[in-house]
Each structure stands twice: as structure tokens, then as C-alpha cells.
Amino acid sequence: MVVAIDGPAGVGKSSIAKMVASQSGFSYLNSGSFYRAYTWLHLTEGGNVNDLPGLLERAKGTTVTIEDGHLFLDGSDIEDQLHTPLVDRHVASISAYVPLRSYVNEQLVKIAEKIDVIVEGRDITTVVFPDAELKIFFDAKPEVRAQRRYLQHPGDLSYEEVLEQIIARDEIDRNKPVGALAVAEDALYVDTSYLTMEQVCEKVLSAIFARKSDSK
């Protein structure tokens, strides 16, 4: 079974998806981690941020594995490097590169063919898994999302700078030529602005159990 979760940056997708995966016994996949990993690799190796073909070529020569919710590149755990200000600054424009999106999507689909997964990202319900058994779209006010992100990494940027990045990221994500952020027609829409993670998790788990019951 595939549970596909969409939503903008800072809405709580990762934390909630991990919690749901833990309580449901499903495996957890985050498409954004792939883009962030390739962005980090390219930039830390001195790659030009505008050399997207070069980034894709480097990505194809790298093995990505997910273990216990952490992303490994060629066997090295780089989970702690995925949300640095450098990666945050460039990942939106890099992830808009269509050939890279196609490559990441292929990897996600292959993984999900063999196991039950909770997959989250920004075009998961509309492009990557349009036939997912359950689709969910999380949303929240930009100010709420900026506050959450600011508290995750205090001292890196001011709240105002984080809010500016969130709004700019939304604009890029909603206007991508392929894989633009959108709410699938059959998705369960959940505004997380004033809900706890536990409350959101309960909504998702209830929807999963309902789908499983319907399929029996």
C-alpha cells in the first residue's frame, strides 16, 4: 500500500510521516531528502549551482539508501546535512530541474513496488504516485511554517529571513513546469496550523485503517 503525502515546505510532513510510519509499520520515504542530498553533494564538491546536467550526472553515480529514517550516500550518513542554510537556499531551484525529478521519481517508485510505504514530498500525489491508495495534502499558514522552521534551527537565520525563504519556496514550488505543488482532487486535505502532531497523526492513521478495511 502507498500512502502519498504532499504539502509545502515547513508544514510538518516529515515529522508526521515518520510518526505515522512508526505506528503503522510502513516504511518511510521522503522525496525531498533525495533532492537535498544531491544538492548538498554537488555544492560541497564545488559544483556550480547552475550546472544542473553535471549535478544529475553526479547523482547517477551515487548510491542512495535509507536506513532507520536516515539517508546514506555511498554508505555515509548525511541526514544532518540535509537542512543546512546552504541546501535550503538552493534546493528549490535544483529540484525544479525536470531530468533530476524524473530520476528521483524512478527511484521512489522502484522502492514502493515491494513494500508498504508512507511517501512524502511536493508532487507525490499528483505526479509520482497518482494511483496511490491514499493521498493526503498537509497545509499551514506561511507564518506558522516559518516559526516551526525557525525553532528547528535557531540562530542560523532570523524569523523574518526564514519567512521570506518559505514564501519564495512556495512561489517556486507552485510554478514548476513539472511537478508543481497542487492538491490532488481525491486527496484528504488537512490544515495543520493549529493541530498537534499527535492530532494530525491520528487523522492519517484513521484514513489508512479505513482504506485497508475497504480493500478487504
Residue 84 lies in a domain: yes
- For 53, the domain range is 2-205
Residue 21's CATH number: 3.40.50.300
Sign of CA dihedral 144, 146, 152, 157: negative
H or E element that contains 24: helix 13-24
Residue 210 lies in a domain: no
Residue 34 lies in a domain: yes
User: Closest by alpha carbon to 204, among 22, 10, 9, 8?
Assistant: 22
Residue 193 lies in a domain: yes
Give pLDDT tens digits for 36-58.
Answer: 999 999 999 999 999 999 999 99
User: CB–CB of 59/93 below 8 Å?
Assistant: no
Residue 73 lies in a domain: yes
Residue 138 lies in a domain: yes
- Count of domains observed in the chain: 1
Higher confidence at residue 152 or residue 45?
45
**What percent of the chain has pLDDT above 90?**
65
User: CB–CB of 170/181 below 8 Å?
Assistant: yes
Give pLDDT tens digits for 1-30.
Answer: 999 999 998 888 888 999 999 999 998 998
Residue 149 lies in a domain: yes
